């Protein structure tokens, strides 16, 4: 499906997120609700955000790889004000979390948390990936799993 | 990486002077270039220099060296640069260019400005709207830029289980010091209640954890130490300077509070300089966000991890309601970014120079000879400067 989307449409869909050629496949993955993180096919190391070579071994053999989306909240803030975005209302402080993904120590992905009241969201909570539609743009989010880390 | 003590530039380059317009937390009806022109002509006059004495120009990316040159009528230059802030970038570039012999005397300037993307009132000014693009891009799901400091402030509280009051002490101390600085934008003292009740912006950081957007300009003369000795004020020598960064420098990929640019700066600056924290008369840790100051105090070695708040409490000057290390070493005596204004380090540098030249007025630290300036934050912009006078 995503191959049917032209570069022009892909760029216009994700221009506000700073899409470039090195991150294009990651954003194509979003259209299919797949969270693609660059992984080196030689040394197996993931890196984030997408870079043109493996920062660990300098291999150019980089494969955008779907991750499970399971992880632990490492960093957490609540925006009481912020940039205008469709469907985002800061009257209830808006959570933003950097989630340490289970695939690799220190590999994080940043998104909002949905489905739980703010007082239940905390650093150390386990989460899993989900997707929402934000003004026609597929957007990755996390939900608490209720498991302790 | 091995930390090298190699430092052939040591004490070969000096600041001859520093001047400022002072700072306003309201929109002025002036352009950045107008503010720069005032600070630059002031520092040149104070140092007894003519336009033709300048052969290098260095400032931020927002006001070009070319425009400063054509505005001031500086006839010919052989070097210029407009690197990003914070301001130790400008210092390192200018000092390196002088030491390398690409030029002899550099006019260095900064223009903190209330750009349209900073505040609602700045956005209402049409002249400001045309000056700089509106950043942000409508994506709230990011730790990019300033948001990253809030993220790691939250992590700091989580890891060390410290109260918000520890952050508040930084804010209160800056405001108490700013009372004595006529250049400062915010001079009304604040209490811990004021801090704890301030408007939350990005939890856990509130309005008083964040530096004040200001209009104003600082300007400096950097030249050889030899030439500076012939000018009116005592030369302030650049003993050591570094810009520190680690590989995992994207805000949400930063490894931990124990491994980022600060740690590189602390290690390298200590290796390259002739003095360290026990030898200084005044200290300038960056305070664009309160969390940065707490981290600098820990990372240069004043105290252990998570102990900066307790360190502030045990070094508190209760009478003046501000920090005074060991009862004698002031910290950001100009009021810092949180009260003088968000100068991205140029205010800290100007005050450091004035203190070492004995020109700091009522704020003067008696016989101040040495200082450390540790600017910037964790990710792309940690910096350090060791300055002293002869």
pLDDT band at A67 (very low <50, low <70, confident <90, very high): very high
The pLDDT value given to residue A1: 47
DSSP code, position B342: -
DSSP code, position B379: S
Could you say which of A49, A77, A110 has the minimum Cβ distance to residue B202?
A: A77
- Is a pLDDT exceeding 60 seen at residue B95? yes
Could you say which of B140, B150, B252 has the minimum Cβ distance to residue A85?
A: B140
Give contacts of B253 with chain A, Cβ < 8 Å: 48-49, 106-108
How close A2 gets to chain B, by Cα (Å)? 22
State the Cα–Cα distance between residues B69 and A92, nearest whole angstrom: 50
State the Cα–Cα distance between residues B346 and B85, nearest whole angstrom: 9
- Is a pLDDT exceeding 60 seen at residue B303? yes
State the Cα–Cα distance between residues B175 and B374, nearest whole angstrom: 19
Strands (E), A70-125: 71-79, 94-101, 108-114
Q: Number of CB pairs < 8 Å for A and B?
A: 83
Residue of A nearest to B117 (CA): A83
Residues 6+ apart with CB under 8 A from B21: B35, B38, B39, B42, B216, B217, B218
The pLDDT value given to residue B240: 98
All structural domains of chain A with their residue ranges: 2-66, 71-144
Give contacts of A75 with chain B, Cβ < 8 Å: 143, 151-152, 154-155, 252
The pLDDT value given to residue B328: 97
The pLDDT value given to residue B3: 81
State the Cα–Cα distance between residues B99 and B87, nearest whole angstrom: 18
Could you say which of A84, A94, A108 has the minimum Cβ distance to residue B253?
A: A108
Residue A64 has which token pair?
A: 């955008």
The string of pLDDT tens digits covering residues B13-50 is 999 999 999 999 999 999 999 999 999 999 999 999 99
Q: What is the largest CA-CA distance in chain A?
A: 47
- Is a pLDDT exceeding 60 seen at residue A2? no
Are the Cβ atoms of B154 and A77 closer than 8 angstroms?
Answer: yes
State the Cα–Cα distance between residues B88 and B345, nearest whole angstrom: 7
Over residues B113-122, mean pLDDT: 86
Give contacts of A139 with chain B, Cβ < 8 Å: 141
Are the Cβ atoms of B140 and A98 closer than 8 angstroms?
Answer: no
Are the Cβ atoms of A112 and B203 closer than 8 angstroms?
Answer: no
Omega before B264 within 30 of 0, i.e. cis = no
User: Which H or E run contains B308?
Assistant: helix B308-314
State the Cα–Cα distance between residues B155 and B160, nearest whole angstrom: 8
Region of A33 (left: φ > 0; alpha: ψ -120 to 50; beta: rest) is left
Which of B137-141, B256-260, B265-269, B307-311 is predicted with the least confidence, judged by mean pLDDT? B137-141
Task: Please classify residue A7 by burial: count the beta carbons closer than 10 Å to its beta carbon, then call 0-12 exposed, 13-18 middle and 19+ buried.
Answer: exposed
The string of pLDDT tens digits covering residues A8-55 is 999 999 998 989 999 999 999 999 999 999 999 999 999 999 999 999
ipTM reported for the complex, 2 dp: 0.93
């Amino acid at each position: 499906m995503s191959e049917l989307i032209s570069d022009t449409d892909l760029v216009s869909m994700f221009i506000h997120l700073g899409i470039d050629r090195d991150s294009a496949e990651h954003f194509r993955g979003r259209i299919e609700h797949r969270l693609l993180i660059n992984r080196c096919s030689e040394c197996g190391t993931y890196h984030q955000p997408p870079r043109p070579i493996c920062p660990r071994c300098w291999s150019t053999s980089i494969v955008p790889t779907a991750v499970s989306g399971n992880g632990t909240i490492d960093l957490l803030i609540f925006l009481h004000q912020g940039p205008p975005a469709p469907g985002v209302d800061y009257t209830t402080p808006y959570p933003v979390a950097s989630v340490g993904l289970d695939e690799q120590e220190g590999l994080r992905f940043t998104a909002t948390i949905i489905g739980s009241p703010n007082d239940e969201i905390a650093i150390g909570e386990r989460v899993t990936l989900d997707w929402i539609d934000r003004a026609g743009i597929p957007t990755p989010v996390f939900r608490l799993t209720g498991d302790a880390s | 990486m091995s930390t090298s003590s190699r430092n052939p530039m040591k004490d070969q380059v000096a600041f001859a002077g520093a001047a400022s317009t002072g700072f306003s937390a309201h929109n002025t009806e002036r352009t950045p270039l107008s503010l720069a022109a005032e600070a630059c002509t002031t520092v040149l006059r104070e140092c007894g220099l003519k336009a033709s004495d300048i052969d290098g120009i260095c400032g931020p990316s927002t006001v070009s060296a070319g425009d400063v040159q054509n505005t001031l009528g500086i006839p010919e230059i052989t070097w210029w640069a407009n690197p990003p802030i914070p301001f130790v970038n400008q210092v390192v570039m200018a000092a390196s260019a002088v030491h390398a012999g690409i030029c002899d005397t550099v006019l260095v300037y900064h223009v903190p400005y209330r750009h349209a993307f900073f505040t609602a009132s700045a956005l209402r000014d049409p002249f400001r709207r045309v000056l700089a693009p509106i950043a942000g891009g409508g994506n709230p799901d990011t730790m990019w830029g300033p948001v990253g400091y809030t993220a790691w402030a939250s992590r700091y509280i989580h890891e060390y289980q410290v109260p918000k009051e520890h952050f508040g002490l930084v804010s209160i101390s800056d405001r108490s010091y700013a009372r004595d600085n006529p250049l400062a934008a915010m001079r009304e003292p604040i209490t811990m209640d004021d801090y704890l009740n301030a408007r939350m912006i990005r939890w856990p950081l509130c309005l008083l954890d964040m530096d004040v957007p200001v209009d104003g300009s600082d300007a400096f003369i950097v030249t050889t130490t030899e030439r500076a000795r012939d000018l009116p004020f005592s030369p302030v020598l650049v003993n050591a300077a570094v810009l520190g960064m680690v590989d995992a420098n994207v805000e949400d990929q930063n490894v931990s509070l124990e491994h980022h640019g600060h740690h590189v700066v602390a290690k390298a600056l200590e290796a390259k300089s002739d003095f360290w924290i026990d030898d200084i008369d005044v200290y300038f840790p960056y305070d664009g966000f309160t969390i940065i100051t707490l981290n600098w105090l820990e990372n240069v070695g004043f105290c252990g991890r998570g102990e900066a708040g307790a360190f502030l409490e045990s070094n508190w000057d209760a009478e003046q309601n501000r920090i005074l290390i060991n009862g004698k070493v002031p910290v950001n005596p100009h009021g810092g970014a949180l009260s003088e204004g968000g100068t991205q380090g140029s205010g800290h540098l100007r005050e450091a120079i004035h203190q070492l030249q004995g020109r700091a007025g009522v704020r003067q630290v008696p016989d101040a000879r040495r200082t450390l300036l540790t600017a910037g934050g964790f990710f792309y912009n940690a910096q350090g400067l060791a300055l002293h006078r002869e």
